[in-house]
Structure 1
Amino acid sequence: MVTDAPSPAPPVGLRESKKQETRQLISDVATGLFLAQGFERTTIAEIAAAARVAKKTVTNYFPRKEDLALDHQDAFVASLAATVTGRPTGESALAALRRAFTDAAAAADPVAGFSGPDFARMIADSPTLGARLRDLHDLREAALADALADATGVPRDDITPRTAAALLGAVHRTLFQRIQDLTLAGQDNERISATVLTEAHRAFGLLEPALADYATA
């Protein structure tokens, strides 16, 4: 009897590509539902049905419902630490972070807070997403503190990098919220960028006396 030979397994690259496609599909479907009916009112079961996947598939890719809405969270948490780690020789942590924020604001980068009015409203209306966003700010500040400790050669529990990270993190939190508030007020990205670039100059300037030369590469 002649039998069909088993189909060869797809290349690893193809499998990974399919995973990324599925993940993006679920994320896109979830975002559409969140914007249409609100984050709190949308269920994982509804997302799975709309994406035509099993509920377990959704939770495999996104263990928490908040992960579906805040899909840039890994980049967000790593952003400040990555800027410090990658700064050129002779540049302080403050100068590097100011430069990076200026570039992000000019480009209306979503990681800096430029999410658009519908998304900003969704976050503002959801206590769950608001709490998760505060957690992400905390995680980003902790990652920055570790990067500053490593850059200055002190233990990661040393008070100096932790304090510096708290100050720098506070400026970024304030500017992020400012962008969200201006978005909800109906301003377009060009106008918001112009406003926060001016305000960022003042906000970062407040840290100059303490941190101008701190953690210079």
Structure 2
Amino acid sequence: MSEGLRERKKRQTRQRISEVAIGLFVERGFDHVTIAEVAAAADVSVNTLYNYYEAKEDLVLPPDQASPRRLADIVRDRRPGESAARAVLDHLRDELRRRDRKVGLTAGFGRVFSMMRAAPTLTARLEDLGRQMTEALAHVLAEETAAAPDDQTPRLVASQIGWFHALLYSEIGRRIEAGEKPDEIADAALELLDLVEEMLGERALGYATRKDAG
């Protein structure tokens, strides 16, 4: 179904608010910009802004993009014959090759990343997001494998996947702050994922392999 005029205007307004907010946050620091200042700069009322974003942190980490179900959704969508860990590894590799904004490889993200690192509420949100991702993934793995309530395997495998997912972002962030170019970062990150795959045991790599269709 094509996007209607009303939906398109709402999407454009939402995008404009976010872009204006991030520009102000990068220029002055997240903690030094108020919601009222963002609204004024984006030419909307404070109430309108809150209709699109429930919290100030959402302007930088919108729930529809920084979703606690990211890892769970990747695993749910995996192909027949693919395990949970390999699905996430392959998905991350694809994002790196496409220089997807989800892995921070777009132009100008370095300044955004530095701004986020300097804001305690944003770093706390990211840490909490990581925990939520792991918990949601553990629930999916337990459900799909019909694990017994006292079986810790789903949680352990989810923790390993959550670990290398966080490790990748940490490495990307470190290289961004070092001033490396997106192509250099992507190449190094792909090598890191290859090393992670080598280091993971076969039990973790083969866990929750989806049965072939038919």
Task: State the TM bucket, normalised to the shorter chain.
Answer: 0.7 to 0.9
Q: Which moved more, 1:30-39 or 1:147-156?
A: 147-156
Which stretches of structure 1, 4 residues or more, deviate above 4 A after TM superposition? Answer: 155-158
Deviation at 1:154, TM superposition (A): 3.0
What is the alpha-carbon distance in structure 2 between the residues aligned to residue 191 and residue 74 of structure 1?
25
> 1:46-195 to 2 correspondence within 5 Å?
46-71=37-62, 74=65, 76-114=67-105, 116-154=109-147, 158-195=151-188
- 1:194 is displaced (CA, Å) by 0.9
Report % sequence identity: 39
- One-letter amino acid of the structure 1 residue matched with residue 187 of structure 2: A
Number of equivalences = 206
Range with greater deviation from structure 2 (191-200 or 65-74): 65-74
Distance (whole Å) between structure 1 residues aligned to residue 68 and residue 149 of structure 2? 17
Post-superposition CA distance 1:31-70 (Å, at most 9, x none)? 1111111111110010011111111111221111000011
- TM-score for the superposition, normalised by structure 2: 0.88
Corresponding residue number in structure 2 for 1:5:
none
Letter in 1 for 2:105: F
Q: Deviations over 1:145-176 (max 9, x none)?
A: 12212321236885221221111101110111
1:29 maps to a residue whose letter is V
Gaps of 5+ in 1: 1-11
For residue 32 of structure 2, give the secondary structure of its aligned residue in structure 1: coil
CA distance in structure 2 between the aligned counterparts of 1:138 and 1:169, rounded to whole angstroms: 8
More deviation, 132-141/155-164: 155-164
Task: Give the number of the structure whose alpha-carbon radius of gyration is greater.
Answer: 1
| 3-state DSSP of counterpart to 2:4 | helix
Separation (CA, whole Å) in 2 of partners of 1:168 and 1:104: 16
Answer whether contact 1:76 1:111 (CA < 8 A) is retained: no
* Paired letter, 2:139: D
Relative to structure 1, the CA distance from residue 168 to residue 44 in structure 2 (aligned partners, 3 Å threshold; closer, same or farther) is same
- 102-111 or 192-201, larger mean C-alpha shift: 102-111
Kindly tell me: are residues 211 and 18 of structure 1, through their superposed partners in 2, closer, same or farther at Cα, counting changes over 3 Å?
same
User: What is the root-mean-square deviation in Å for CA atoms of aligned residues?
Assistant: 2.0
Unpaired segments of 5 or more residues in structure 2?
none
Shift of 1:77: 2.8
Paired amino acid for 1:204? E
Q: Which amino acid aligns with 1:68?
A: L
Residues 122-152 of structure 1, C-alpha deviations (whole Å, 9 max, x = no match): 1111111111111111122122112212321
Cα separation, partners in 2 of 1:156 and 1:89, compared to 1, 3 Å:
farther
